[in-house]
Amino acid sequence: MHSKKAIIIGSGVAGLAVAIRLSVQGYTVTVYEKNAEPGGKLSIYKKDGYSFDTGPSLFTDPDELKDLFDFAGEDIEAYISYRQLASSCKYFFVNGKTFNTWIDKEKLAQESAEKIGEPAQNILQYLQKSAQLYENIGTVFLNNSLQKKSTWKKKAFIKAFTSVRPGLLFSTLNQYHESAFTTGEAIQVFNRFATYNGSNPYMCPSMLSIIPHVELNKGAFYPKGGMISITDALYKLAIKKGVQFVFSAPVQRIICVNNNAKGIVLNNKNIFSHIVISNVDTWFTYKNLLLDNRKAQHIEKKEKSSSAIVFLWGIKKQFPQMHLHNIFFSGDYKAEFKTIFQLKSVYKDPTIYVNITSKMEDAHAPHGKENWFVMINVPADSGQDWTKMAAFLKQQVLKKLRGMLKEDIEPLIETEKIIMPPEIAANTSAKNGALYGISSNTKRNAFLRHPNFSKEINGLYFCGGTVHPGGGIPLCLKSAKIVGEMVKSEN
């Protein structure tokens, strides 16, 4: 008896994870990837002795990764090693104050009181509520398909659903933070967590206050070798489990017969399978692979998440006052989000995220130098003049960093690469370069993302950042687990 065949389109984190799960479950799995290597957004760029992670740079909830290795019967330590960070991020404010989000609660509380004047009790209370929310509601919502009737019958789900306080749905994240904190700095720090799924804290529901729990209660980590080592570990594990990969292979279409997914078309040839899993942006899947314009337009109408402009800078100096993760805040956060989401433009005083992995590993930059991954939130692509915007943004970023670091950065840049939304769209098939598909700026978008299965086509499943439960490495791993369990129960 031959095992059933599964085809996976795309080898992002979720695609790799679901390939491993299905292979362990007895499927013959083949992954088709349009790029020349695996990883999707989680890739690497090297130039002039500098090495840059080009995608997600924050690693949280490694238990999700460990769970996958345990499921495959493998020791994670043979594939990847990581360590917990003492501080997940260092924040720089326009008024000259700084704030470290220490993972040690006592230290965090002290830092809060001393550096930004926010009473320690407020921070500790907030994190306690965030943890309760995650445990009572988050885990049930994030680990199950919300569109399956069976989920709604589970006792844990009913309990979680009935414990959702109306305020968590009807007040915005910013309103929630204004009632939780007394200082503008604390409000701004916690409002920033909305950007973790490309949303606007002045619009998205306060239920998103579960996000800080993962980073500040559970901790932030650094994988040895940089974020690319997560891709490498998953790819190695997939190979070991017998998964086949076909690279530089853009899938043309998904074959459907009588509302059943039957395989794919590649190079004008039909390749058949029992099930198909798309790890590609849902809009792209409907528009190009299923030729379903109606569904594609329905997704297109929804507000997109933010995108990013990234400057990869080789800096010929070291900055001891900066850490692995750094944020230089805008002086007017509300105006910045209005510019991004309503005006669809770039703000003159942008919030700047700088990730420097050479703080953790000397080999990522030449001796005495640093590799700066500089990212600014920008709107998704709707035809803006990105070359002009990137040039404007670069000057604003340099001006801001010069003011906040008291040093002219421009002469220190010895190598540069700029990544803009159209390039993100082209490389990752992300519609308009939106990093997380749709935004979570409405209650419906926040909680009812695209399901992990097709309601119309049997044997077609979805995983990755544009479907439930959302973007980021832990959630992509969860989406792969949901699909794996669904396939097991249905086939």
Beta carbons of 467 and 282 less than 8 angstroms apart? yes
Q: Is 33 exposed, middle or buried (0-12, 13-18, 19+ CB in 10 A)?
A: buried
Distance of CA 300 to the CA centre of its chain: 20
Structural tokens at position 291? 């030729």
Q: What is the CA radius of gyration of the chain?
A: 22
Rounded (5°) CA angle 79-142-299: 105
- Compute the distance between CA of residue 340 and CA of residue 376 in angstroms, rounded to an integer: 11
| CA nearest neighbour of 98 among 407, 357, 405 | 405
For residue 270, which of 281, 256, 290 has the smallest C-alpha distance? 256
What gap in Å lies between CA 423 and CA 469, rounded to an integer? 25
Helix, strand, or coil (residue 307): strand
Going by C-alpha positions, the residue among 375, 386, 369, 367 that lies closest to residue 435 is: 375
Cβ pair 6, 279 in contact under 8 A = no
Element holding 211 (H helix, E strand): helix 211-212
Query: Cβ(116)–Cβ(97) under 8 Å?
Result: yes
Peptide bond into 469 cis (omega under 30): yes
**Predicted confidence (pLDDT) per residue in 2-17, tens digit:** 589 999 999 999 999 9
* CA distances for 418 relative to 54, 104, 318, 387, 421, angstroms: 11, 36, 21, 10, 10
Residues of the chain with pLDDT under 50: 1
Cα 83 to Cα 88: distance, rounded to the nearest angstrom: 12
DSSP secondary structure string for all residues of 8-29? EE--SHHHHHHHHHHHHTT-EE
From 288, 245, 283, select the one nearest 265 (Cα to Cα). 288
> Which CATH entry fits the domain spanning 307-428: 1.10.3110, 2.40.128, 1.10.3470, 3.30.519?
3.30.519
Helices assigned H by DSSP within 329-470: 333-341, 386-405, 421-428, 443-447
What is the distance between the alpha carbons of residues 288 and 356, in angstroms, rounded to a whole number?
A: 37
- In this structure, are residues 346 and 394 in contact, taking their beta carbons and an 8 Å threshold? no
At residue 382, the pLDDT reads 95
Nearest to 68 by CA among 235, 198, 262, 286: 235
Dihedral sign from CA coordinates of 428, 490, 64, 81: negative
pLDDT at 491: 82
Phi, psi of 246 (to 5 degrees): -125, 110
Q: Are 369 and 317 in contact (CB under 8 A)?
A: yes
The position carrying tokens 């993962």 is 214
List for the chain the helix, strand, coil content (%; round to 5). Answer: 45, 20, 35
Would you give the DSSP letter of residue 87? E
- The pTM score is 0.94
Polymer length in residues for the chain: 491
**Would you kindly state where each structural domain of the chain is located, as residue ranges?**
1-42+222-303+441-491, 99-218, 307-428
Coil, helix or strand at residue 98: strand
Q: What is the per-residue pLDDT across 60-90, written as a single tens digit (0 to 9) for each?
A: 999 999 999 999 999 999 999 999 999 999 9
Sign of the torsion formed by the C-alpha atoms of 433, 436, 442 and 444: positive
- Which residues 6+ apart lie within 8 Å of 460 measured at CB? 254, 256, 261, 275, 276, 277, 278, 453, 454
Q: Whole-number mean pLDDT of the chain?
A: 93
Which residue, among 486, 466, 372, 487, has the nearest Cα to 13 in the 3D structure?
Answer: 466
* Multiple choice CATH, 1-42+222-303+441-491, 3.30.70.270, 2.40.50.140, 3.50.50.60, 3.40.50.10470: 3.50.50.60
